[in-house]
Amino acid sequence: MKLKSIFVKGAAIAFCAGLFALPTFAQDADEQSSGTGNAFLDNTTFYITTDFAYYPDSAAVPGTGDIFAPITGGLGGLEGRVTGHADYKIATPLSDNPLMAGDNVTLGASFELTPVSVKPGLSVSFTPIAFLVFSAGAEIGSGWDFSLMNVQGMGRYNGTNYDSINFFNAAYYKFWAQGTFQFDTGAIFPGDWTHVVMMASYQVNYQGLAGVDNKVAYKWQGSGSAVNGWQYYSSAILAYQMPLVLYRAGVMAEFEGHFSANDYENYASYGGDFMTVSIAPLVQFQFDEHNQLAVLFGFSSRRRFTEAASETTNELSLTNSGREWYFKRVAFSYTYTF
C-alpha cells in the first residue's frame, strides 16, 4: 500500500476557509462579544484549524476520452495539517449605508505545520462593501522527508523519479491575489430560515520551488508533477444556513490549473494547461461559538493517459488523452476559535 502525502494541498481542503467566511449579513453587531477592553485583542481573532482527509484507492483507467474511474481499494492515502491563524481587523467605514457600515481591512498571519513541511503566510484583505472582498498574500515554506511513511517533503524530478531536496537547499513560495463575491439572502429576507448563502472567488497566483529551474518538475509536500508558473484557482459555494448544530449544507465547485501549457514544455504530452474540476457536497456543524466542523465529500477529475504509469514510467512522460472523474476523498476540517 502506497500512502499519499501527509498534507492536504492548498486548494484541496481550503474549502473550510471559504465556508467559514460565508457572510451572515443579518447578524447584528450587538450579538458579538462585549470584548476584553484591549483594543488590539478585541479586533484580533485567533483560531486553529486541523484538516484531515481520507482517500480511497482509485486506479487510473488507461485509454482515450472521458470516463469515471471506480474505487478499487479501501485506502489510497491519508492527508493532514494543522494551521494557526491570527486576523487583525481594522474598521474602515466609508458610508452610513448598511452595506458599507461593516467595511474593513483585515491583516492575517498563518503558520502551517505538516509531518513533512512548515509554511508561514501573510495576507491582507479589503471589504469595501458587504458582498465584495479583495485580498492578496504570500506564503513561503520548506520541507523534509518523512521516512517512516516514505513521503518526500521536497524533490526535484530527474526524468524517472524525484531526488529529495534538503530543508535548507530550497523553499516553496506562493504569491496570490483574489476577488470574492459573497451574499446571504437573509440580508433581504430577515429570519432564521431565510439564509441561502453564496460565494464565488477567483484567484491568480504564482507558485514555485526556489532551487528548481523553470519547466523542471518538482514535488512539494508529497505531491509531484508540479512546475513553477502562473496558475488560477476559482471556487463557488451554494449553501443553506440553519439555526441548528448542522449549520450549513450545500455544494462546492472548484476549478484550477496553469494559464500556460508552456510551463510544462519539457513534458509536452502531459497536458500542461489541463483544468482540474472538482464538485463536492458539504456540511458544516457549529457546536458553539468556539467549535466548528466542516465535512466534504469530494468528486474530482484528473488527466487520463493512453497508457498506465509504472515504477519506471512517470506520468509526466505519458500522453494526456482525456478527463478521468473519480471519487477523491472525504475531508474534515475542524476549527477552534479562541
Q: Quick one: cell of 64?
A: 482515450
Q: Quick one: cell of 86?
A: 491570527
How far is residue 295 from each of residues 44, 63, 248, measured CA to CA in Å?
Answer: 26, 33, 10
Query: What pLDDT sits at residue 32?
Result: 45
DSSP per position, 41-70: HHTEEEEEEEEEEEEEE-----SSS-EEEP
Nearest-angstrom CA–CA distance, 243 and 241: 7
Q: Could you tell me the pLDDT band of residue 36, with boundaries at 50, 70 and 90? A: low
Query: What pLDDT sits at residue 126?
Result: 97
Q: Could you tell me the pLDDT band of residue 93, with boundaries at 50, 70 and 90? A: confident
Averaged pLDDT of the chain: 89
Residue 189 region by backbone torsions, left for phi larger than 0, else alpha for psi between -120 and 50, else beta: beta
CA 97 to chain centre: 33
pLDDT digit string (tens) for 272-323?
Answer: 999 999 999 999 999 999 999 999 999 999 999 999 887 667 899 999 999 9
- Is the pLDDT at 210 greater than 70? The verdict is yes
User: CB-hemisphere CA count at 13 Å for 188?
Assistant: 6
What's the whole-number mean pLDDT along residues 239-256?
97
What's the whole-number mean pLDDT along residues 87-106?
85
- Is the pLDDT at 247 greater than 60? The verdict is yes
Share of residues in the chain with pLDDT > 90 (%): 76
Per-residue buried b or exposed e for 139-159, using 16+ beta carbons within 10 Å of the residue's own CB: bebbbbbbeeeebbbbbbbee
pLDDT digit string (tens) for 40-66?
Answer: 788 999 999 999 999 999 999 999 999
Nearest-angstrom CA–CA distance, 80 and 29: 35
Of the candidates 160, 242, 237, which has an alpha carbon nearest to the alpha carbon of residue 195? 242
Q: By mean pLDDT, which of 18-27, 108-117, 234-243 is the weakest?
A: 18-27
User: CB-hemisphere CA count at 13 Å for 195?
Assistant: 22
Place of cell 498574500: 137
pLDDT digit string (tens) for 142-178?
Answer: 999 998 888 899 999 999 899 999 998 999 999 999 9
More confident residue, 16 or 177: 177
Burial class (CB in 10 A: 0-12, 13-18, 19+), 80: middle
- Is the pLDDT at 33 greater than 50? The verdict is no
pLDDT digit string (tens) for 322-331?
Answer: 999 999 999 9
Query: What pLDDT sits at residue 4?
Result: 42
Query: What pLDDT sits at residue 228?
Result: 98
What's the whole-number mean pLDDT along residues 203-210?
97
Other beta carbons less than 10 A from residue 222's beta carbon: 27
CA dihedral 100, 102, 103, 107 (to 10 degrees): -170
